Amino acid sequence: MPSESTRILGIETSCDETAAAVVENGRSIRSNIVASQAALHAQYGGVFPEAASRRHIETIYSVVAEALAAAHAGLEAIDAIAVTRGPGLAGSLVVGMNMAKGMALASNLPILGVNHLEAHLYSIWLVEAEPEPKFPLLALIVSGGHTELILMLDHQKYQRLGGTLDDAAGESFDKVARLLGLAYPGGPAIQAAAENGDPTAYKFPRAWLEGTWNFSFSGLKSAVVREVRKRQPELEAGVEAPRPGLPIADIAASFQAAAVEVLVGKTLAAAKDFKAKEILVGGGVSANRPLREAFQAKATLPVRTPPLELCTDNAAMTAAVGHRRFLAGQRDALDMDVLPTWLLDGV
């Protein structure tokens, strides 16, 4: 007899997307609604936390209602509510958490707090057409807030190998984009500008941090700042528009090449060292085309990246983790707090 299907409602408000989704059996997306705040934050050149939480408050109800309607599901068809508990902006996390708690209380459904980094990895499980990845996996999470190398031994079993010591990979894309007068979010803007540039035009530094699995991107960003200031000595990051004549395409391409080389190089080395069977790359920066291409060109083992719409923040991946936790019989209490600095580690 086929086992009954399980439907999880996911809610995600860790940063600047208000998102809700319904996922069946941990792999099948029934609905996936994302309300992006990118236009709101573009005027600040980055995420403005107070504005983010207020916008989440205005948007969360309609996003959740839309996710349920699009899945043709009332709450009676839902088995549990999964909500991002951390890491992320405290004021933003609280909005999704309180929405989930209210719904769980009113409908007597179980609530499951989800680690947002783990959710980025589970976006891979939402690619239904592909077989499930094989453990042990080497995972690279590259987003606006994180750059983490993690050994995934099994479901819910993680060993954190290292992470960034300063800027996250996505943060460095955003900062360099701002310096070059490009739009927020900076990752897609840098990628687009770099298409017309020469990635070998500037020899920007690669921070290999030999002997560790850590990353550092602040030196690379400072090298770009120095290059720009050679032409515009008075330029303060983001304060004034870059002058006409600044070789934006070459700088963007050279910066991107340096970031990609280190991310790919260290991930492949870690995968070899820890005898991983596959590599997973998740988080907003995993949408970067040169990064995806470099992985495919250099890896001798399978590298999986989510489809573009699942690279950046969404609630389907939150629901996918919720499904795992639900199956394992885990439940959280209605007085759980958000965990803004929650890293993925431990077995």
Positions touching ligand KG4 (CB under 6 A) are 15, 143-145, 170, 173-174, 185-188, 191, 283-285, 287-288, 312-313
Task: Determine which helix (DSSP H) or strand (DSSP E) holds 194, and give its type and residue range.
Answer: helix 186-194
Interface residues toward Zn ion, by CB under 5 A: 143, 313
How many other C-beta atoms can be found within 10 angstroms of the C-beta atom of residue 150? 25
Beta carbon of residue 204, minimum distance to Zn ion (angstroms, whole number): 26
Q: Considering only CA atoms, which of 13, 339, 305, 282 is closest in space to residue 146?
A: 282
DSSP H or E segment with residue 158: strand 157-163
| Residue 188, contacted partner among ligand KG4, Zn ion, none, CB below 5-8 A by kind | ligand KG4
Which residue lies nearer to ligand KG4 by CB, 8 or 169? 169
Nearer to Zn ion, 7 or 304 (CB): 304
Closer by beta carbon to Zn ion, 32 or else 143: 143
Distance in Å, CB of 131 to ligand KG4, minimum: 25
Minimum distance from CB of 191 to ligand KG4 (Å)?
Answer: 4
Residue 133 binds: one of ligand KG4, Zn ion, none (C-beta under 5 to 8 A by kind): none
Between 144 and 322, name the residue whose CB sits nearer to ligand KG4: 144
Residue 96 binds which entry of ligand KG4, Zn ion, none, CB below 5-8 Å type-dependent: none
Question: From the centroid of its chain, how far is CA 172?
Answer: 14
Which residue lies nearer to ligand KG4 by CB, 250 or 313?
A: 313
Q: Cβ of residue 312: shortest distance to ligand KG4, in angstroms?
A: 3
- Chosen from Zn ion, ligand KG4, none, partner binding at 26 (C-beta under 5 to 8 Å by type): none
Report the interhelical angle of 90-107 vs 49-70 (nearest 10°): 30
Closest CA to 120 of 265, 270, 284: 284
Burial of 253 per CB tally in 10 Å (0-12, 13-18, 19+)? buried
In the complex, least distance from residue 75 CB atom to ligand KG4, rounded to whole angstroms: 27
**CB proximity list for 8: less than 8 A, separation 6 or greater:** 22, 23, 26, 78, 79, 80, 81, 82, 112, 319, 320, 322, 323, 326
The tokens of 253 are what?
């391409």
Distance CA 309, CA 65 (A): 21
C-beta of 187: minimal distance to ligand KG4 in Å? 2
